Amino acid sequence: MEAIVVIIIGSILIVFLKKLPTNKDRLSKHSLPQSISALFSSFKKHSEDNKQPEQTNEKSMFDLLEEDKKQNAIASKEEMLEKADSLLKANNLDQAEDLYIKVLKDNPKNAKSYKGLGQICFKKKDYKDALEIFQKLVEISSKDSSAYCNLGMCYFKKKDFKKAIESYKKAIKIEKKAFYLKNLAITYYSDENYKEAVETLFKALQLGDNNEKSILLMKDMLKKISDKKRVEKITKFIEKISKQN
């Protein structure tokens, strides 16, 4: 009898256990709370959004437009500088000055603009401002021989022959031009260093600066030195190039 009761109870338990939901059933029938589901959805979306896009060599339309804009700006500045240079040559100093200043507002280190402004001040005989501008130009463009030459010309006008000589020597060190040598010779002569004046001008003549004015200048300089042999040699050279002219 007891065995029958145990069997009946066991059968009832088996039936009851079969009706209980499994873990799998619980997860499928009872969804996650909405806040947690939203969190996971948000995390998934964030992960997808933060995937690194594939790197391509193609430029966007925005990049192309920006490059085109920069190219146009450069072209515009170059055109402005060319116009300013033409105005300077035509002696339209005020108009040229305005254009050089406009370029400098966009590019404070534009060497061409400083050179143009310095030349304008020099032509206006404003040697103080010209000197300051050419000093700035030398800082920006230290390999430009003409910048040192212009600086030397300003010092010469201010009768600071020592600094003028230094400036011309720097110009000649960068580029040996007859014009620089001639200016240096004139500065030596003005500083009463006649021997150096003659030797320097002689170098200029040898480089091709043998026009009539340079020859006459040399004849005047030769009167100031006492070395007869040197005078004779240079005089013969002058006679030779005079015949060629």
What is residue 241's predicted lDDT score, i.e. its pLDDT? 87
What is residue 60's predicted lDDT score, i.e. its pLDDT? 62
Please report, for the chain, how many H helices and E strands are present, in that order: 13, 0
What is residue 57's predicted lDDT score, i.e. its pLDDT? 54
CATH 1.25.40.10 fits 69-171, yes or no: yes
Q: What is the mean pLDDT of the chain?
A: 80
**Helix 127-140 vs helix 145-157: crossing angle, to nearest 10:** 160
Structure tokens at 181: 């040598």
Give the residue-averaged pLDDT of 110-128: 96
**C-alpha torsion angle, residues 46, 51, 56, 60 (rounded to 10):** 10
Tokens 């260093």 sit on residue = 193
Going from N- to C-terminal start, the domains of the chain cover 69-171, 176-245
What is residue 219's predicted lDDT score, i.e. its pLDDT? 94
Q: Decide: helix, strand or coil at residue 136.
A: helix
Residue 33: φ, ψ to 5°: -55, 145
What is residue 142's predicted lDDT score, i.e. its pLDDT? 93
Q: Is the pLDDT of residue 231 over 60?
A: yes
- CATH no. for 176-245: 1.25.40
Give the residue-averaged pLDDT of 32-49: 41
Please give the Cα distance from 197 to 78 (Å, whole number). 40
Structure tokens at 38: 């939203």
At 219, which amino acid appears? K
DSSP H helical ranges for 107-245 = 111-123, 127-140, 145-157, 161-174, 178-190, 194-206, 212-222, 228-244
Confidence (pTM): 0.68
Please give the Cα distance from 186 to 165 (Å, whole number). 10
Identify the CA nearest to 96 among candidates 107, 75, 112, 72: 112
Least confident stretch, 6-10, 88-92, 123-127, 228-232: 6-10
Neighbours of 244 (CB within 10 A): 6
At 232, which amino acid appears? E
In this chain, the answer to whether the domains covering 69-171 and 176-245 adopt an identical fold is yes
What is residue 50's predicted lDDT score, i.e. its pLDDT? 47
Give the residue-averaged pLDDT of 40-48: 42
DSSP state of 196: H
Please give the Cα distance from 83 to 92 (Å, whole number). 11
First to last CA, the chain: 152
Please give the Cα distance from 214 to 185 (Å, whole number). 11
What is residue 62's predicted lDDT score, i.e. its pLDDT? 52
Identify the CA nearest to 161 among candidates 124, 189, 120, 134: 189
What is residue 164's predicted lDDT score, i.e. its pLDDT? 98
